[in-house]
């Protein structure tokens, strides 16, 4: 996946500085990874003083998390159509591109860092909300159960992708994505919420 910059937002100088810092932080993260992520280098790239960065982000971890949040929001945003199969395939393709990128590999490494576990969990919970939007659109079209275990669906969709990348160290193919989606759709009753 080609590394894309974070989308620019309109606004004044403060907004431009924020966007420049996040863009250069993203490149720093892609090039240097978690251990080499350096505020001084980012400040130099963004043509700002380090204190400008620390004023907004008090720690290197805070800057890293916001950089990843912006990046994943841009990479994983889709507009649900109500066609559950197609929406899930599009979403999983976006997840696959992310996980197979340098940034995605850094994101997976953060899951094992004690200082960033909570922030990383929050990032993935935000992505899970988009998945819930996809299922909500499908529910309104009569393609999915009205009452289902969202956490179980999330783990059944993403678990095999993580195993494929992390343990098997194999690429996530379009065939694998389609097989995952078809498995989920064929086993709706498994995800039924029993109250």
Measure the CA–CA gap between 177 and 120, rounded to whole angstroms.
24
Strand partners, 192: 148
151-182 pLDDT, tens digit per residue, is: 888 888 888 888 888 788 888 899 999 999 99
Judged by phi (left if over 0) then psi (alpha if -120 to 50, else beta), residue 149 lies in: beta
Could you give the angle at the alpha carbon of 85 between the alpha carbons of 79 and 91, nearest 5°? 45
Structure-token pair, residue 108: 């997976």
DSSP state of 114: T
Measure the CA–CA gap between 133 and 150, rounded to whole angstroms.
11
24-81 pLDDT, tens digit per residue, is: 888 887 777 777 888 999 999 899 999 999 999 998 888 888 887 787 777 777 777 8
């Amino acid at each position: 996946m080609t590394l894309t910059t974070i989308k620019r937002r309109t606004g004044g100088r403060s907004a431009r500085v924020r966007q420049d810092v996040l863009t250069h932080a993203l490149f720093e993260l892609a090039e240097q990874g978690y251990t080499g992520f350096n505020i001084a280098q980012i400040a130099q790239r963004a043509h700002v003083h380090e204190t400008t960065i620390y004023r907004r982000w008090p720690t290197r971890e805070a800057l890293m998390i916001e950089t990843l949040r912006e990046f994943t929001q841009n990479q994983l945003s889709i507009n649900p159509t109500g066609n559950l199969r197609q929406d899930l395939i599009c979403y999983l393709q976006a997840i696959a591109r992310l996980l197979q990128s340098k940034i995605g590999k850094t994101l997976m490494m953060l899951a094992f860092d004690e200082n960033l576990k909570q922030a990383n969990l929050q990032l993935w919970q935000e992505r899970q909300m988009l998945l819930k939007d996809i299922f909500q659109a499908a529910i309104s079209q009569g393609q999915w159960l009205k009452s289902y275990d969202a956490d179980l669906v999330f783990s059944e969709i993403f678990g095999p992708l993580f195993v494929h990348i992390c343990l098997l160290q194999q690429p996530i193919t379009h065939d694998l994505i389609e097989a995952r989606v078809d498995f989920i759709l064929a086993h709706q009753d498994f995800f039924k919420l029993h109250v």
